[in-house]
Amino acid sequence: MNDTEQLVKDALGKLAERTPHPGPTLNALRRKRKQHRNNIFLIATAGMAAVAVLIFTGLVASDKYTPPSHNDAAAALMPHKSAGQPIPLKYAPHWLPDGFVETHRAASGDQVSRDWVPAGSKGNPLEKAEQPRITVQTIKDLPADRDKFEQVSVRQLPAWVVVHGSVAELFWKAQDVLNVTVRGVADPKSIALRVADSVRMDAKVTFLPPFWLDGAPASEVWGDSPYDWTARWAGEKYGVTVSTSAPAKTDGALVTLRGQKGSLIDDGTVTVRDSSGFWITVNGAQGERDALVAAAGRVQLQIVPQPDTVWIGRGV
């Protein structure tokens, strides 16, 4: 064997040791010298296979971190991200006063909020100012005038609280800026502090809104039970609701919506009971019938196998 052959054997031997199944290749390298001509052929074949495996593995690993190309077969290995991706809620309280249950969730950009009210409460809690309610939410920034608030601490972090009658607002910064607001209860400041001390980050807590429109999720969802709920999407030109219940008014001029018989009401609202069984209503400017019909058609329901509403009516 000449020096060149020896170098080839040594290099391919090292490469073979990195392959998932090196046994046959290493055995070939250890055979007697008189078999070296056949060995080199076997080694070269195994080496080419090893190189192919390493290259393919590297390409797959690389593709997991780069956007797939529509013309790249490797794109089939990448998960497709549709409009219906769960929204991370990030934080969860682990203590609330007895009898409080969650009935409302909202999302706007990166900010999320959750509301708990006494069990048995009905309707959208944000529309009932006097109702007892506890809100936990992320916000963009700490209040600019917090120097006027009372300074306290939440789990040894600086915090600020202000009380207005039966409303206490508490702010502090963890990984995000957080706010706990307590309304309509006795000693709201003490309740707010105790709720805040129980808040923990939880990456597993997510929420899938019942529908999307034009790439944006419903901005808020509320309900009286997992089977009785309403979701709302608010845009510049129109608003959309999807609900288990019919709107207050359903009679109007006949119009086809999402392949079903719907109604045009007051020339500025269209509504239909979708084939899914849920009511879809679109409100906008009068005289914009075609735009309202088109918007209803673009609503993407996220209700398979069922809507993510099991949290409605639950405590902590």
CATH number of the structural domain spanning residue 198: 3.30.200.100
Residue 316 lies in a domain: no
β-sheet bridge partners, residue 71? none
Query: Quick one: 171 and 133 in the same domain?
Result: yes
Report yes or no: 162 and 150 within 8 Å, Cβ to Cβ: yes
Region 254-267 average pLDDT: 94
Report yes or no: 312 and 223 within 8 Å, Cβ to Cβ: yes
Report yes or no: 178 and 187 within 8 Å, Cβ to Cβ: no
**Within 10 A of 144 (CB to CB), how many other CB atoms are there?**
7
Residue 315 lies in a domain: no
Q: What is the pLDDT of residue 69?
A: 33
Give the rounded percent of residues in the chain with a pLDDT score beyond 90.
66
pLDDT greater at residue 274 or residue 29: 274
Query: Quick one: 227 and 280 in the same domain?
Result: yes
Report yes or no: 213 and 203 within 8 Å, Cβ to Cβ: no
Report yes or no: 230 and 221 within 8 Å, Cβ to Cβ: yes
Predicted TM-score (pTM) of the model is 0.72
Report residue 179: phi and psi, to 5°: -135, 130
Give the rounded percent of residues in the chain with a pLDDT score beyond 70.
74
235 pLDDT above the threshold of 50? yes
Amino acid present at 88? P
pLDDT class for 10, splitting at 50, 70, 90?
low
Region 68-88 average pLDDT: 47
Which string of b and e fits 121-134 if b means at least 16 CB within 10 Å?
A: beeebeeeeebbbb
Q: How do residues 56-71 score in pLDDT, each as one tens digit?
A: 434 333 332 223 333 3
Q: What is the pLDDT of residue 190?
A: 98
pLDDT greater at residue 202 or residue 44: 202
Region 268-285 average pLDDT: 95
Query: Quick one: 93 and 155 in the same domain?
Result: yes
Query: Quick one: 201 and 213 in the same domain?
Result: no
Region 63-80 average pLDDT: 30
Cis upstream peptide for 305 (omega within 30°):
yes
Sheet containing 211-213: give its strands across: 216-217, 211-213, 300-301
Q: What is the pLDDT of residue 5?
A: 52
CA 236 – CA 234 distance, rounded (Å):
7
SS3 42: helix
Region 92-104 average pLDDT: 97
Q: Highest mean pLDDT range out of 25-34, 46-55, 159-168?
A: 159-168
Domain of 287? 208-301
Query: Quick one: 225 and 146 in the same domain?
Result: no
